[in-house]
Chain A
């Protein structure tokens, strides 16, 4: 098809920020694991939150196309320094715009938004052990 990758995507692909893992057992770490069934991409995003509700660290591991990797890499950059509530406001459209994603790759930015939300939801659930939760397999 010959469409060139936007340089922003190439940059994140060649120099990804925050690749790796945090300790998913730690109480202040939230883990989001999401998949895109249409293309088979998987994305794991983790956040470490301090006692003031501020995200102090984030890591990701994504197996998929360049746009998915770039979206999750950017997501980890953006959530750092934000509070949990601020991070929940991150929209896939912002990610797509920043990376100049073509329409056919918009779903990658959506996956990143979903990964952020899943990680934060996991973190919140861990802070409130009285809430009913489905058993999370270790």
Chain B
């Protein structure tokens, strides 16, 4: 907001999402604090509060609001948070094909996918859901440790693994939706 006339200003170019959400640039975040910050920011800039303001401010308010949504979603989810941190450090996410070098891991992913592709069975789905959650928690711990010792290459590898599990999580959610 402009200090003089209190009119809403546009968001800056290429904002740092961590700074925006008042968090340290770290893989560890306090989810509750993040949520509080999200709510208080939205209270200040949400388009609903700018219905009476000039069109330019209404437009800025939409921009701020959607940026805050994006920042919140990115930092809340460990995978997107990790990938964003890598990006801030100038490390590109894994792009090259994972080959048989990691065949144990890929075989596991393949097997879970195959189970998920079978006709819906409540027990098996629950089993898979638990397995995915456990793996995601394990990986999140390992990623936290990697970032803490500044091992960005290891973090990159682990985040790639998390991506496979994130896809499985989505497929599982879709499977659970009553058809």
Q: List residues of chain A with CB under 8 Å of any chain B CB.
A: 32-42, 44, 61, 63-64, 107, 110-111, 114, 118, 121-122, 136-137
- Chain B's nearest CB lies how many Å from the CB of A21? 10
Binary per-residue interface labels of chain B (103-118) against chain A in the complex, 1 for a CB within 8 Å, 0 otherwise: 1101101100110010
Q: Which residues of B contact A38 (CB under 8 A)?
A: 93-95, 160, 163
Q: Shortest 10 CB-CB distances between A and B: which pairs? A: A37-B160, A37-B94, A35-B98, A40-B167, A63-B113, A40-B163, A114-B97, A40-B164, A33-B106, A35-B106
Q: Show 22 A/B contacts (Cβ-Cβ < 8 Å), sorted by A.
A: A32-B100, A35-B97, A37-B96, A37-B98, A37-B160, A37-B163, A38-B94, A38-B163, A40-B164, A40-B166, A41-B167, A44-B110, A61-B110, A63-B110, A107-B95, A110-B97, A114-B97, A118-B99, A118-B100, A121-B100, A122-B100, A136-B100
Residue of B nearest to A33 (CB): B106
Classify the secondary structure of A's interface with B.
mixed
Residues on the A chain within 8 Å of B93, using CB = 37-38
CA–CA, A137 to B167, complex, Å?
25
**Residue of B93, B100, B171 ringed by the most chain A CB atoms within 10 A:** B100
Contact of B164 among A42, A118, A121 (CB under 8 A): A42
Give bound CA distance, A36 to B167, whole Å.
Answer: 12
The count of A-to-B residue pairs whose CB atoms sit within 8 angstroms is 68
Residues of chain A with a CB closer than 8 A to B99's CB:
34, 114, 118
Min CB gap B39→A, angstroms: 30
- Known A-B contacts A40-B163, A40-B167, A137-B104; the reply to A34 vs B110 at CB < 8 A is no
CB–CB A137/B103 < 8 A? yes
A122 proximity list for chain B (CB < 8 A): 100
- Rounded to whole angstroms, the CA-CA distance of A40 and B167 in the bound complex is 6
Q: Is there contact, CB below 8 Å, between A37 and B167?
A: no
1/0 per residue B154-165: CB within 8 Å of A?
A: 000000100110
| In the bound complex, CA of A58 to CA of B160 (Å) | 28
- B106, B113, B114, B164: the one contacting A34 at CB < 8 Å is B106
Q: Given the complex of chains A and B, what is the CA–CA distance between A126 and B36 in angstroms? A: 59
Q: Which residue of A lies closest to B102 (CB)?
A: A35
Of chain B, the residue at the smallest CB distance from A117 is B99
Q: Mark B140-179, 1 if CB is under 8 A from A, else 0.
A: 0000000000000000000010011011000100000000
Q: Is B103 in contact with A33, judged by CB distance below 8 angstroms?
A: yes
- Please, which residue of chain B has its CB at the minimum distance from the CB of A64? B167
| Cβ-neighbour of B109 out of A35, A107, A114 (below 8 A) | A35
